[in-house]
Every structure is written in C-alpha cells, then in structure tokens.
Amino acid sequence: MHNIQLHGRADIRRILLVKWSALGDVIISTAILEDLRQAFPNATIDLNILPPWDRLFRQDTRVNNLLVIDLRGQDKGWKGVWRWLKNVRRNKYDLVIDLQSNDRSRFLISALRILSPVRPILMGNRRSFPYHLSPPWKSKPIEVAALDQFRQTLAAGGIQTSTPRPVLQIPQENLERAAQMLKQHGLSPQGFAALIPGCQAAGHLKRWGTENYVALARKLHEATLEKIVLVGGKDEIKDCAEIEAACGDWVVNLCGKTEIFDLVPIFEQAKVIIGNDTGPTHLASCTERPIVVICGPTDPRRVKPAGDNVRAIQADLPCINCYQKECDHHSCMKAITPEMVFEMVKPELENNRGESRDL
C-alpha cells in the first residue's frame, strides 16, 4: 500500500496509537496525538501505553480509551501477548499506528496482521513487515529526532502534522496546586530559573554534576533572577539537597514535592529552564519557555526535547553519543562549564521586559 491519503477519511473510525515508554518519548508523542485528533475529529482514538505513564492520560479528552497491559511486569510473556491480541482484535481498529516500533511491538502487530479477521491499516516508523505504511528507512535513524520520526510515520499515510511541541492536558487540581506553590515560595512570573539537575539513577552519566549546577545557580541569581527552583524525583533528592545547601535561601527545592502535572504550569512561569537529558526536561518542552538541555553520552539530535525554543549543548569530543552506562573519565560532561551554559541564556536574562526570545 503506497501513496495512501488517510487524513480525515470518514472510514477511519477507530484508531489505536501504540506508544509504551519511556517518559520523554511518551511526552513527545502527545504532539502526534494532537495531530491525530485534528485529522480525525470524529474517530475513536485509543492509546496503548505501559504503566505508570497511563496516568498522564486518565483525564485526556483526546483519548477515548486506554489499553494498559503491563508487558514488562505482571503481563510479561505469553499472558501479555494473548491479552494484547484479544483486546486489539475485539476493538476492530481501522488504523493501528506503532510509534514504539521495537521488536516486541512488531511481533505483536505481526501476530495481529496474521491472526485478525479484521485487517486494519498498519503504520510503523521503519520499513519492514508487518507495516503497510512507513517512512523510507529500514531502521530508525539515530540522527533524526523522535518527533520528526513520528511525523514522518504519519506522513507516510498522508496525515498532516503541524503541532510544534508536546501538548499535555493539565487537570485543574494541578493548576491550582502549582499556583499555590508559586505563591507560597514567592515565585514571580519570569523571576526565577528552573533547574533539572538529575535523572534516573541508572542513567547517572547524563548528570552534569551538583558542583556545576551550584556554580550556574549562583551566576543566574547574581545576574537578575530572584530565585532558583530545583525540580526532580526520588532519584535526585540527594543532588538537589546538596545544591540547596551550597547556595542560600534564594533556592527553592521542590524535588520530590511535585506531581508530574504540577511541573508544566511551574515551568510556564520560569524565565529559563536548564536541565539534563531526562523526562522532566521533556515536560518543560510543553511550554514556550527557553530551554537548554545538557547532553553528554546521549545524542542531542535524538534526545533533544521538541520545540524551537529548545537548544542543546554538548562537548566536541570523539567519545560523545556513546550511550554507555559506566565511564572512568566522564569527559563529555566535564568539558561543559557553567560559563558556557550561562552564556546560552544570558540574552534572556538581559531582556528586562520579560519577553521571550528564541534560543
């Protein structure tokens, strides 16, 4: 099947979007979800996702149903395969879009194509069985950003994509919680910088280091910013506590004190946002605020959050983009200085009117 134009077709009534993980890619895929809802306003759109990321879509009006099967946990193995096939066959989808496109998802969709009496159009982001429609490449190119890969998958079926950045629907209770936090800590609009100094423990090489964040926080505060806000999860509590202790009462440590949905409205009020390659940095890209992401062992062409307000910094070394879990020198992060990062956001700090410039 080639040159098929699916955009807005009335016979596409039931759509399944497959995107299991990880947090960054799930957030990026919300831009595609927005495009799908605009392309098929009257269709049923279901989302197949792994826990715990299903909680991001429990109140999302763009999603009709969530298909949550824990293929890595309690539904691991043939139990999960059978449950997945049973549910997908029962729902009789007209279109299945696989944005995960790994070996496991291709296996499940291959089984669906072979065993299902209903034959949906199958889309994936690599040219191989079982997909009917896909971009021209046989394997996902690392140098192409995730959102561009997703867009080219939809483009293979003539589905228009125009959403520039992720779109999360924030529940009212989280908007109110975030507003209360901002008020409680005296955080005025664009009067603070948000720093994201951690990442999951398993990816510790992606951390720039607490000493660097301390030095950067001081520079930002000395420049013009009243406060510096630290955000993160349980794996970053120690790092954020060290940064807070080394600075002063102008640091607001919210690490471990926020829910995912609280972060977006907090980020929306920041002057600038600076962080490592980690999930919360992708959450920040749901806003139009200037963002700098610090990359070392991961390729910024692949991992940089979506949006024209995002810039990445990476050292020019032979060993960058190694994706290693252990390293005895960590040169890629040591080569990036607080002065280098500060210079990237300096134009924003000099904008006294509070108007955002493109980074």
SS3 category, 167: coil
Q: pLDDT of 263-319, one tens digit each?
A: 999 999 999 999 999 999 999 999 999 999 999 999 999 999 999 999 999 999 999
Which CA distances in Å does 119 have to 8, 59, 91, 320?
19, 30, 12, 44
Amino acid at 258: T
E strand or H helix at 14: strand 14-18
Average predicted confidence (pLDDT) for the chain = 94
Q: Is the same domain home to 144 and 216?
A: no
Pick the more confident residue, 336 or 145. Answer: 336
For residue 217, is it within any domain?
yes
274, two tokens: 């600076």
Domain end call among 129, 155, 181: 155
For residue 343, is it within any domain?
yes
Q: Is the same domain home to 57 and 93?
A: yes
Domain end call among 122, 155, 188: 155
Which pLDDT does position 1 carry in this prediction? Answer: 47
Domain count, the chain: 2
Q: Is the same domain home to 72 and 184?
A: no
Q: Sorting pLDDT into bands at 50, 70 and 90, what band is 3?
A: low
For residue 27, is it within any domain?
yes
Cα–Cα distance between 68 and 28 in angstroms, integer?
Answer: 19
- CATH number of the structural domain spanning residue 70: 3.40.50.2000
Which pLDDT does position 355 carry in this prediction? Answer: 44
Domain end call among 120, 155, 190: 155
Q: Is the same domain home to 133 and 267?
A: no
Pairing of strands 310-313, 291-294: parallel
For residue 256, is it within any domain?
yes
For residue 141, is it within any domain?
yes
Number of helices and strands (H, E) in the chain? 12, 11
Cα–Cα distance between 205 and 294 in angstroms, integer?
Answer: 11
Amino acid at 283: L
Q: Is the confidence at residue 93, as pLDDT, over 50? A: yes
Cis preceding linkage at 117, omega within 30:
no
Which pLDDT does position 137 carry in this prediction? Answer: 83
Q: Which residue segment(s) compose the domain that 329 sits in?
A: 173-349
End-to-end Cα distance, the chain: 41
Which pLDDT does position 256 carry in this prediction? Answer: 95
Percent of the chain clearing pLDDT 70 (strictly above): 97
Cα–Cα distance between 122 and 148 in angstroms, integer?
Answer: 19
User: What count of other Cβ atoms lies within 10 Å of the Cβ of residue 304?
Assistant: 24
Q: Is the same domain home to 76 and 201?
A: no
Strand ranges for 174-270 from DSSP E: 192-196, 227-230, 251-253
Q: Which are the contacts of 42, defined by CB distance < 8 A and separation ≥ 6?
A: 10, 13
Q: Is the same domain home to 149 and 179?
A: no
Q: Is the same domain home to 182 and 142?
A: no
Q: Is the same domain home to 337 and 261?
A: yes
Q: Is the same domain home to 201 and 341?
A: yes
Q: Is the confidence at residue 354, as pLDDT, over 50? A: no
Q: Is the same domain home to 200 and 278?
A: yes
Which pLDDT does position 306 carry in this prediction? Answer: 95
Q: Is the confidence at residue 356, as pLDDT, over 50? A: no
Output the DSSP codes for 294-321. E-SSS-HHHHSPSSTTEEEE----TTTT
For residue 1, is it within any domain?
no
For residue 200, is it within any domain?
yes
In the block, tokens 């992060």 appear at 333
Q: Is the same domain home to 125 and 245?
A: no
For residue 71, is it within any domain?
yes
- Model confidence, pTM: 0.92
Q: Is the same domain home to 138 and 177?
A: no
